[in-house]
Amino acid sequence: MTIRIIPQAPQDRHPDRPEGEIPPLLFPQLKSLYARRAGRLRQLAEKNPLGDYLRFAAVVASAQVIVLYDHPLQGDLQARLADSARVGTPPLDVATLPRDGHWQRLLQSLIAELKPEMSGQALAVLENLEKASASELEAMAQSLLRHEFTQVNSDSSPFIWAALSVCWAQMAALIPGHARAEAGEPRPLCPVCGSVPVCGVMQMASGGESARYLHCNLCETEWHMPRSQCSNCGQEKQLHYWSLEGVNAAVKTESCGDCGSFLKLLHQQIDPAVEPVADDLASLVLDARMEQEGFARSSINPFLFPGE
């Protein structure tokens, strides 16, 4: 396939729409989040060379739906929010937020849901996680949250992160009044939890406008960032947009010549069904071509962690 530079799309601002009218944060909608992801993964798997892995991811997302409702959030969230506000960190900061046993209960429930659906290596990984001690699981979670990915077996990482993500998404859905951000701030990390994005999404808006949001790979919150800035370093001068299918492709990448990074951009106005985790995972051929062009990915998909 030939990768090509495409013309830059219109920016997020509109003369008749003040910047303040763009919501700075979009919090996860738990009722549809994982079910929509599972459905999109299955749809994309039908004609994709990575179909088997997309179907695996769909099974995990479907299990997250069940675990989410079987295990509502436990613990004193208000006390944690007060601690974050006092020290000036994001309300659900991965580096400082104390973790209780809730995420491990989510993991054990996730394992129970997934074991009947898995075989071979995946089943063996689940059985090993099921036998792991609480301290061992906590050490793996800590390594992933610190981006010390080589400390965790890459086969285990998606399952651990799936439980952590449900836990953080449950918290994020309850804190709209406690998270602060300004529309258009050059934030490379999630203002709610401090994790990295999966990709960017060009959200449809009224009047044919669109606005770019970055989708968090942990708490599933989205935060606004203008299209005119690199999502990684904030520079504006050396941005280019790439596609395998031309201007009408729903999945494109933004590259930055200043920092040498790239980030996927999903365009809802072209395909309203795009879903951040699913469409990013299904378009890895675009990642490979961007790496051939000399750019490094600045984001992390929860089903694609580097590991030992």
Residue 237: inside a domain: yes
Q: Residue 20: is its pLDDT beyond 60?
A: no
> Within this chain, do residues 227 and 145 fall inside the same structural domain, yes or no?
no
Residue 280: inside a domain: yes
Q: What is the pLDDT of residue 151?
A: 93
> Within this chain, do residues 128 and 209 fall inside the same structural domain, yes or no?
no
Q: What is the pLDDT of residue 307?
A: 55
Half-sphere exposure of 142 (CA within 13 A, CB side): 10
> Within this chain, do residues 93 and 196 fall inside the same structural domain, yes or no?
no
What single-letter DSSP state applies at residue 88?
T
pLDDT over 70 percentage in the chain: 90
- What is the rounded distance in angstroms from the CA atom of residue 31 to the CA atom of residue 24? 21
- What is the rounded distance in angstroms from the CA atom of residue 183 to the CA atom of residue 23? 6
> Within this chain, do residues 119 and 186 fall inside the same structural domain, yes or no?
no
Q: What is the pLDDT of residue 3?
A: 62
Domain boundary residue among 131, 146, 172?
Answer: 172
Structural domain count of the chain: 2
> Which residue would you say has higher pLDDT here, 153 or 22?
153
> Within this chain, do residues 49 and 146 fall inside the same structural domain, yes or no?
yes
> Within this chain, do residues 159 and 145 fall inside the same structural domain, yes or no?
yes
Q: Residue 5: is its pLDDT beyond 80?
A: no
> Within this chain, do residues 22 and 64 fall inside the same structural domain, yes or no?
no
> Within this chain, do residues 166 and 53 fall inside the same structural domain, yes or no?
yes
- What is the rounded distance in angstroms from the CA atom of residue 278 to the CA atom of residue 256? 24
Residue 146: inside a domain: yes
> Within this chain, do residues 149 and 42 fall inside the same structural domain, yes or no?
yes
Residue 7, phi then psi, degrees to nearest 5:
-60, 145
Sole residue written with tokens 């995420």: 103
Q: Return the number of other C-beta atoms located less than 10 Å from residue 134's C-beta.
A: 9
Domain that holds residue 286: 18-27+181-297
Residue 53: inside a domain: yes
> Which residue would you say has higher pLDDT here, 16 or 47?
47
pLDDT digits (tens, 9 = 90+) for 55-86: 999 999 999 999 999 999 876 788 778 877 77
- What is the rounded distance in angstroms from the CA atom of residue 292 to the CA atom of residue 122? 31
Contacts of 86 (CB under 8 A, 6+ apart): none
Residue 6: inside a domain: no
Residue 7: inside a domain: no
Strands (E), the chain: 4-6, 25-26, 197-204, 210-216, 222-224, 239-243, 251-256, 261-267, 296-297
Query: What CATH number is given to the structural domain containing 253?
Result: 3.90.1670.10
Sole residue written with tokens 């990709």: 199
Domain boundary residue among 139, 172, 205?
Answer: 172
> Within this chain, do residues 39 and 150 fall inside the same structural domain, yes or no?
yes
The pLDDT confidence band at residue 177, using thresholds 50, 70 and 90, is confident
Residue 292: inside a domain: yes
Q: What is the pLDDT of residue 113?
A: 98
Query: Apex CA 74: angle with CA 73 and CA 75, to 5°?
Result: 130
Single pTM value for the model: 0.92
Domain boundary residue among 145, 172, 199?
Answer: 172
**Residue 24 contacts residue 223 (beta carbons within 8 Å):** yes
> Within this chain, do residues 161 and 213 fall inside the same structural domain, yes or no?
no
> Within this chain, do residues 192 and 255 fall inside the same structural domain, yes or no?
yes
Residue 302: inside a domain: no
| Range 245-252 average pLDDT | 88
Half-sphere exposure of 305 (CA within 13 A, CB side): 28
The rounded mean pLDDT for the chain is: 89
Q: What is the pLDDT of residue 283?
A: 96
Q: What is the pLDDT of residue 8?
A: 54
